[in-house]
Each structure stands twice: as structure tokens, then as C-alpha cells.
């Protein structure tokens, strides 16, 4: 493996170079020096991406609708989380806010991100 300089990633060019190095190291043996280098580069890339490519959490209702589509759920399937058909309809049409109980149920039972459910 060629010499790779480890330094904070500050530019798009450095980011691209780091990604190229990660690709080269991807299939390296576990517990090797290359694996350690891959881990460090991955941490640096992740830090750069968080600063420059962060993705805002989905709107809470959009997150619920996305999960419904992903899981093939219908509004009637959400009654157990919301309490009634009417409440499901009101929440999904943004006429009624999510309650803490609804948020907890959706997070625990459907695995919808708390960040998304609590986003404003």
C-alpha cells in the first residue's frame, strides 16, 4: 500500500482522495495495519460528511408515511398506535399533533427514528 497521509479532511479534493483510499483498503485483512488505516480514514470521512453533507431528519408525518409504504401498512394498521381511525387520519393530515405516547409507540414498535418523530 502506498503512503497515505492522515490529516483532517478540509476540502472536497481531500475527501475524494480519502474515499479513493477507502475503496483501495476495503477488502484488507481484519486486524491488519491496513484495517486500522481504513478505520481512521472512515472516521475522518464521516466527520467531513457530517459537516458538509448532513441530511435533515424527515418531517414526522413524512417519516410515518415512508414507514407505511416501506412496510406495506395502511391507515387502519396505525390505529393501535394512535387510538382510532379518526385520529390516524387527523395526524396524517397534520390536523392533530403527535402525542408523546404516539411517538413512543411508533419508535418502539415500528422503529421510526426518534429524531424524525421529534423534528419540528
Question: What's residue 53's pLDDT?
Answer: 85
pTM score: 0.55
Neighbour count for residue 80 (Cβ, 10 Å):
10
In sequence order, the 6+-apart residues with CB closer than 8 A to the CB of 106 are 64, 67, 81, 98, 112, 117
Q: What are phi and psi of 93, to 5 degrees?
A: -95, 5
Question: What's residue 120's pLDDT?
Answer: 54
The residues of the chain scoring below 50 in pLDDT are none
Amino acid at each position: 500500500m502506498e503512503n497515505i497521509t492522515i490529516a483532517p479532511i478540509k476540502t472536497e479534493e481531500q475527501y475524494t482522495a480519502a474515499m479513493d483510499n477507502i475503496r483501495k483498503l476495503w477488502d484488507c485483512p481484519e486486524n491488519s495495519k491496513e484495517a486500522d488505516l481504513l478505520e481512521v480514514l472512515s472516521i475522518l470521512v464521516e466527520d467531513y460528511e457530517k459537516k458538509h453533507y448532513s441530511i435533515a431528519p424527515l418531517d414526522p408525518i413524512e417519516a410515518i408515511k415512508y414507514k407505511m409504504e416501506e412496510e406495506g401498512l395502511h391507515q387502519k394498521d396505525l390505529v393501535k398506535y394512535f387510538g382510532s381511525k379518526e385520529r390516524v387520519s387527523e395526524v396524517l393530515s397534520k390536523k392533530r399533533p403527535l402525542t408523546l405516547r404516539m411517538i413512543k409507540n411508533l419508535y418502539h414498535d415500528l422503529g421510526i427514528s426518534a429524531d424524525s418523530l421529534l423534528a419540528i
